[in-house]
């Protein structure tokens, strides 16, 4: 029996936290259940899941569809896209059966990539290595959100899609479409026709990105559309991630959301390395602490931690939840201070 290998590459960088992660987690479950009800898919489809954040990780080696479990996803800093491509190439070399004299090998693998950010590593050599691995059938690269490097994705494949609706519904529609696409592919229709037919059925919330047509967030060279900063709750001492959106008119970042980081949805082991610090003057305010609801935030002059307003006592003094230093509130003299940013 010729198998149809399907490799799903999932970006689990911290910027995916919130509806991105819950949407992908739920969508993967729907996709697996939908395909398991499809007799053609059950006969031919084999699935593998690879995640990438600060590094690439094999979550599920290539397995028959009826044995695949939904992988548990957690966010971590970084977007090691190149490492993911390298791992994909290695796995395909190991797992995909090539044609032998007298025996047909597997169908060309299908790759589905979902990312919401810009790679944090040098991925072009990895792409070259991937091209020297097993030839891929259709490679679907799906970008979600405002910070996608669509130029880069176009170098990887000619099927680049932009998920414009990134709420729960948008993610759900995306995975219905992916399930349909993989179901159709598992019927073994001619590759070219199948690609055109499936792209014709894209829902409104997903746009195909053509050459020379970039969506709003993809201008090159400008500042990133989003910024992520770590906070520490002064009451519960738990970390959280503050999400900011760039306001080109004033050249500052405004807070848009804050997400709890806990052991359920995040892995702290890779944290530590960060990008160039952000000047506090580029950041306009802060979101409420998602752990205790306190407004405001302060920054520790000793360890550099940013902490929520819940750390402030009645006397106006704060105890840094990061290093325990006693801090008096100092009015910002206008010089600004440096804040460590997350890699997103
Ligand atoms: Zn707090
Ligand atoms: Zn401190």
Of 29-43, 90-104, 152-166, 191-205, minimum mean pLDDT range: 191-205
- Cα(15)–Cα(164) distance, integer angstroms: 16
Distance of CA 1 to the CA centre of its chain: 34
* pLDDT (tens digit per residue) in 212-228: 555 444 455 677 788 88
pLDDT of residue 61: 98
* pLDDT (tens digit per residue) in 152-193: 899 999 999 999 898 999 999 999 999 999 998 888 754 556
What CA–CA distances, in Å, run from 155 to 1, 90, 127, 147, 320? 33, 20, 9, 17, 46
Q: Report the separation in Å between the CA atom of 324 and the middle of ligand 2, taken as the mean of its atom positions.
A: 6
Which pLDDT band holds residue 336 (cuts at 50, 70, 90)?
A: low
**Is beta strand 326-328 parallel, antiparallel or unpaired with respect to 317-319?**
antiparallel
Residue 205 corresponds to which tokens in the numbers above? 């919330």
**By the 8 A CB rule, do 160 and 141 touch?**
yes
* pLDDT (tens digit per residue) in 282-319: 888 889 999 999 988 888 888 888 899 888 888 878 88
Q: Report the separation in Å between the CA atom of 314 and the middle of ligand 2, taken as the mean of its atom positions.
A: 19
- Cα(225)–Cα(145) distance, integer angstroms: 9
**By the 8 A CB rule, do 137 and 194 touch?**
no
Angle among Cα 24, 253, 228 to the nearest 5 degrees reads 40
pLDDT of residue 333: 43
The structural domains of the chain, ordered by start, are 4-217 (3.40.50.410), 226-339 (no CATH)
Cβ-based neighbour number of residue 54 at 10 Å: 23
pLDDT of residue 55: 92
**By the 8 A CB rule, do 141 and 108 touch?**
no
**By the 8 A CB rule, do 100 and 77 touch?**
no
Q: Report the separation in Å between the CA atom of 24 and the middle of ligand 1, taken as the mean of its atom positions.
A: 28
* pLDDT above 80 (res 31): yes
Of residues 328 and 155, more confidently modeled: 155
Q: Report the separation in Å between the CA atom of 315 and the middle of ligand 1, taken as the mean of its atom positions.
A: 18
Q: Report the separation in Å between the CA atom of 301 and the middle of ligand 1, taken as the mean of its atom positions.
A: 19
Note the pTM of the prediction, 2 decimals: 0.85
* pLDDT above 70 (res 122): yes
- Ligand that comes closest to the CA of residue 300: 2
**Is beta strand 338-339 parallel, antiparallel or unpaired with respect to 278-279?**
antiparallel
- Ligand that comes closest to the CA of residue 240: 1
Q: Report the separation in Å between the CA atom of 301 and the middle of ligand 2, taken as the mean of its atom positions.
A: 7
């Amino acid at each position: 029996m010729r198998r149809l290998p399907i490799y799903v590459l999932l970006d689990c960088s911290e910027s995916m936290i919130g509806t991105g992660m819950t949407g992908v987690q739920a969508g993967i479950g729907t996709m697996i259940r939908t395909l398991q009800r499809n007799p053609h898919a059950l006969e031919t489809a084999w699935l593998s899941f690879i995640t990438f954040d600060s590094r690439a990780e094999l979550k599920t080696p290539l397995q028959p569809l009826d044995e695949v479990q939904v992988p548990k996803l957690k966010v971590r800093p970084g977007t090691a896209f190149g490492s993911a491509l390298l791992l994909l190439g290695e796995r395909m070399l190991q797992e995909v059966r090539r044609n032998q004299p007298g025996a047909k090998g597997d169908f060309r693998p299908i790759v589905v990539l979902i990312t919401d950010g810009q790679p944090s590593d040098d991925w072009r050599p990895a792409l070259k290595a991937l091209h020297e691995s097993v030839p891929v059938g259709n490679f679907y690269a799906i970008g979600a959100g405002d910070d996608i490097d669509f130029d880069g994705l176009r170098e990887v494949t000619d099927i680049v899609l932009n998920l414009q609706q990134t709420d729960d519904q948008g993610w759900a529609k995306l995975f219905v479409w992916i399930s349909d696409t993989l179901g159709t592919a598992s019927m073994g229709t001619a590759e070219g026709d199948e690609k055109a037919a499936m792209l014709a059925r894209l829902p409104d919330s997903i746009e195909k990105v053509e050459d020379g047509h970039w969506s709003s967030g993809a201008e090159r060279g400008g500042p990133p559309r989003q910024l992520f900063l770590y906070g520490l709750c002064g009451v519960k001492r738990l970390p959280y991630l503050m999400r900011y959106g760039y306001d080109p008119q004033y050249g500052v970042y405004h807070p848009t959301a804050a997400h709890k980081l806990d052991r359920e949805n995040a892995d702290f082991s890779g944290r530590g390395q960060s990008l160039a610090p952000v000047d506090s003057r580029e950041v306009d305010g802060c979101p409420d602490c998602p752990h205790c609801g306190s407004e405001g935030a302060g920054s520790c002059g000793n360890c550099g931690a940013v902490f929520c307003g819940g750390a402030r006592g009645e006397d106006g003094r704060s105890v840094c939840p990061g290093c325990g230093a006693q801090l008096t509130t100092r009015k910002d003299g206008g010089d600004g201070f440096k804040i460590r940013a997350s890699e997103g």
